[in-house]
A and B are shown apart, each in its own frame.
Chain A
Amino acid sequence: MSDFPWLLAMIAVPAVGGAAVAALPRGRDAAAKQVALAVSGLVLLLAVLATVAFDTGGERFQLTTSVSWIPAFGVDFALGVDGIALVMLLLIGVLVPVVVIASWADTGPEGRSMKAYFAWLLVLEAMMVGVFAATDVFLFYVFFEAMLVPMYFIIGSFGGPRRQFAATKFFLYSLLGGLVMLASVIGLYVVSNTELGEGTFAFDALRQLDIDPGVQKLLFLGFFVAFAIKAPLVPFHTWLPDSGAQAPIGGGVLLVGVLDKVGTFGFIRYCLPLFPDASRTFAPWILGLAVAGIIYGAILAMGQTDLKRFVTYTSIAHFGFIALGIFAFTAEGGTGAVLYMVNHGISTGILFLAVGMLISRGGSARISDYGGVAKKAPVLAGVFLVAGLASLALPGTNSFVSEFLVLLGSFPTRPVFTVVATVGIVLAALYVLLVVQRTMHGPSRGVVVDKPFPDLRRRELAVVVPLIALIIGLGVYPQPLLALIDPAVAATMTDIGSDPAGTTPATAEQGAN
């Protein structure tokens, strides 16, 4: 079973599916939805089967596929996953069908056909799988950049009133970061060319390079800027509130839930193992940004008047926690950060979806337009509360485990930063509960009175129930995910634990150096 090219299939199926949806004749929106749902369901199935085929005690990268792609550049089409990438694939597998169902009744602005939306969603899924599954840095870069195109069209064609501006800002920020990273990618290749005698982009070979500390710093910064824009860390974050607020709900879920994780994934997969010395040098600065993001995101979240912008600012705070866990350089911190990436995808996903359900009823994204929703739509209010509690990391929800692990892991090495970050937990309780109180409780007012405000429909329940089940399930029993994540994080920690003088890293591939 492990010989089957799972990862290739997970890229090819949605890519072909996307092309098929795009090729449907004009006006066949219903067929487009059904195909999109079937295809994304199939990808979820593949992700689950791939997880079954994955051996948690086995080699670091498994389910590998590799064919030579551009020999002149030494590029391979090489796919493979460690536990970190695998849990991200599972997250993608879960979120895309959920998004498809959640977008079922959406209508495009100015009467646009929604067919293109579902086609772009599937193309985006293929790119997202590729970006996490690539083990060749060039291939990673290709997916990293190509991923922008579908999201650009999703925001630009199907977003809110200021969608043109938001889509352009999103694209340019990411493009700028990506191009700076490209310089580092090429630089890495040139270093490998001088050290190994033959240029390569293979992650496993690059990991064992002994790069001059000065060069390391420059290369590190190239990667870091791209990932910090993507994640996003303060002060590289200004594009996210605009994009998140203007994106259609489904696009927003994937943007915040998955796309932004490419940044934090990049930190742990590329920045740390490839540039261990530089990572250590810059860690205090990055931790500073991370903690600043936690506080800044929380304070701005409290001040938001727009529900979607509110969700994006809570995410900026959460990305601070993830970065804190990664740059604490401890196994618990790293594991907690990766688990946080999954949990944040789920909890922010459901929060975004709940916001979308509110907006679809009230027709407004302003917090002040809502009040007393709990009276007219108690189930929706309950879902919103659960989503909010997961977001503030209440014990018993999934986020608690990861947030606790992050703080536990970073305290021994970075006590000061950790203590400051803990303030963020208090602030999180404040910003979530304030919004819940304002919109859900008290007397009904604003659009809740003016418009019929039906409770959740069956389709909407189908969207939120699996996510709530995951929130509770992973909150009580996170072990299966931890079993996947732990070995991969441990291997990463060994990579950076290696002697700064550049002796061979203590990994299984020692002999290759």
Chain B
Amino acid sequence: MIEAPDLSLAALTPLLFVFGAALVGVLVESFAPRHVRQPTQVALALVGTVGGFVSTLLIAGRSEVTAGGALAVDGAGLFLQATIAGLAALSILLFAERGLDPAKSAFVASAAVPAGSPRDRELLTDERVQTEVYPLATFAVGGMMLFVAANDLLVMFIALEVLSLPLYLICGLARRRRLLSQEAAVKYFLLGAFASAFFLYGLALVYGATGSIRLSEIRESVSTDGTGTLLVLGLGLLIVGLMFKASVAPFHTWTPDVYQGAPTPVTAFMAACTKVAAFGAILRLLYVAFGTADWTWRPLVYGIAIVSMVVGAVLGLTQTDVKRMLAYSSIAHAGFLLTGVIGLGGGTGSGLSATLFYLLAYGLTTIGAFAVVTLVRDGDGEATQLSQWAGLARRSPLTAGVMTFLLLALAGIPLTSGFTGKFAVFRAAIEVGAWPLAVGALVTSAIAGFFYLRLVVLMYFSAPAEDGPSVGVPGLPTTIVLAVTVAATLVLGVVPGSVLDLADRAATLVG
């Protein structure tokens, strides 16, 4: 007789909400008539993500291990789940924008048609929309929320797959520039499969070394038996797998191509939510399982952080495409986030709360920035070439102003959330004595400042191009997203007190 594991349903409400919405979405996709699908799917996805967000808030303060020890519901986990669900809801709003593309959707109606074929060209202007992107994205959100709550390596791996597979698919759904989009999907899939293999191999080694896949048991084994080569090797492989998802250099090579090729709303979704989820898992793994033996990962993470900041900042300088530039910015920010991870300092530092805050702040700002990218369009869809943005401030002062503000936030200028976040993670790093890392991070911030500034220079100080792009009038969904992200970026920069307190109180991990 197999005993059913204990399930604290209350603690799992957020997950149940999101997965429930995704499953209903599949049913709707199969059985509802075509004309009701779009509104129903949007509503369902929003109900799922917003419901997930609200229910995390309702059960805030819980701290328990449930589902037979497979899941940990704790302060940090709930904070991350709320962040993921909230950011996902904003992304879903971007998915649902119908006013910008002349064909009323950023997604292709029939993804399997060969790119460039006559049928494919027909699809460009076809107003038929396909809605499988909503349940797929909702599944990915569920996977991400599971990922940050996983208390055992196998569940973590399953969550990794649940979040990744739908993402591989929806990267290939761009309505325009189909080849680029398909290339992005294939590239992401192939490299993602490699990363999963790394993770799985690491899992096996860690299991071999400690005899357990449960994070808490690994910790016990580490503190009683010490660490052997096998364990350190396994941990290294696990870190590689996770860093891949977090688009940290040197595991970043997919990021620029995928960010560029994927439909921009999906890029926004990945840049914000995947990053949060991956860092959530990194924090949990390093803190719960290896927090007592931080010498095993500190040198590795230290080095990776520097590489990621330098690669992101320096290669960002050479980009000529807005989406690729933001991709490199995301790589640099991953490096900054890792300084917060270094600030964990064996559990005593303020690194955990700082990283939580940074993830929230960065996610909001980056979704806003990609939302602006969806607005600037020419006859062939979005105008993502940097040169096309020249003189944008003349054409649309508001759009340029919003983008400038968000870019200043990404650059970490005071009175924006970016500065508060950077301050928090750098403080955490310096507190544990990693000041060379913090100084390096600050210098790379200055380098990264250059490419954000380049876009500002183009928008404000350059003469507009003759056949420049037009700025689309955003519909209600995109307007909401822009308003929320800009307001949040400002508020978290000017009066961040209450959110910092919240992150501080949430900074507990059980296991």
Contact = CB atoms under 8 A, between A and B. Distances in A.
B413 A149 contact: yes
A163 interface: yes
A219 to B, nearest CB: 10
Interface string A250-281: 00000000000000000000000000000000
A186 interface: yes
B414 A145 contact: yes
A142 B457 CA distance: 23
A187 B430 contact: yes
Interface in B465-511: 495-497, 500-501, 504
A30 interface: no
A110 B460 CA distance: 12
Contact of A156 (B411, B457, B501): B457
A153 B450 contact: no
Given A70-B497, A175-B446, A183-B435, A167 B457 contact: yes
Interface in A158-177: 163-164, 167-168, 171-172, 175-176
B57 interface: no
B457 A164 contact: yes
A482 B63 CA distance: 63
Contact of A168 (B414, B420, B457, B495): B457
A171 B413 CA distance: 11
Contacts of B495: 69-70
Contact of B463 (A110, A179, A190): A110
A203 interface: no
Contacts of B496: 70, 72
B460 A172 contact: no
B10 interface: no
Given A146-B413, A156-B461, A172-B453, A73 B500 contact: yes
A186 B423 contact: yes
A68 B54 CA distance: 30
A238 interface: no
Contacts of B411: 175
Nearest to A70: B497
Contacts of B200: none
Contacts of A176: 443, 446
Q: Say which size band chain B's interface belongs to.
A: 35 or more
Given A69-B497, A146-B413, A186 B461 contact: no
B415 A142 contact: yes
Contacts of B461: 156-157, 163-164, 167
B457 A141 contact: no
Interface string B428-466: 001100010011001101100110011001001111000
Residue of A70, A72, A163, A187 with highest tally of chain B CB at under 10 A: A72
A72 B501 contact: yes
A182 B426 contact: yes
B408 interface: yes
A226 B442 CA distance: 13
Given A71-B497, A187-B430, A193-B431, A164 B446 contact: no
Contacts of A187: 430, 435
Residue of A70, A148, A189, A193 with highest tally of chain B CB at under 10 A: A70
Nearest to A147: B414
B420 to A, nearest CB: 8
Nearest to A165: B457
Given A73-B423, A186-B430, A172 B500 contact: no
Contacts of A141: 414
A180 interface: yes
A145 B449 CA distance: 13
A186 B426 contact: yes
B449 A175 contact: yes
Given A146-B413, A149-B408, A187-B435, A179 B446 contact: yes
B284 interface: no
A236 to B, nearest CB: 14
A512 B177 CA distance: 67
Contact of A172 (B423, B430, B431, B450): B450
A200 B191 CA distance: 46
A153 B461 CA distance: 9
Interface string B250-281: 00000000000000000000000000000000
Contacts of B462: 164
Contacts of A164: 457, 461-462
B333 interface: no
Contacts of B415: 142, 146
B324 interface: no
Interface string A53-81: 00000000000000011111100000000
Given A183-B430, A190-B427, 14 more contacts: A71-B501, A156-B457, A156-B460, A157-B460, A157-B461, A172-B449, A175-B411, A175-B446, A180-B443, A182-B423, A183-B439, A186-B423, A189-B427, A193-B431
23 contacts: A69-B495, A70-B495, A110-B463, A141-B414, A142-B419, A145-B419, A149-B408, A153-B460, A164-B461, A167-B461, A168-B450, A168-B453, A168-B454, A172-B446, A175-B449, A176-B443, A179-B442, A179-B445, A180-B439, A183-B435, A183-B442, A187-B430, A218-B435
Interface of B: 408, 411, 413-415, 419-420, 423-424, 426-427, 430-431, 435, 438-439, 442-443, 445-446, 449-450, 453-454, 457, 460-463, 495-497, 500-501, 504
Interface of A: 68-73, 110, 141-143, 145-146, 148-149, 153, 156-157, 163-164, 167-168, 171-172, 175-176, 179-180, 182-183, 186-187, 189-190, 193, 218
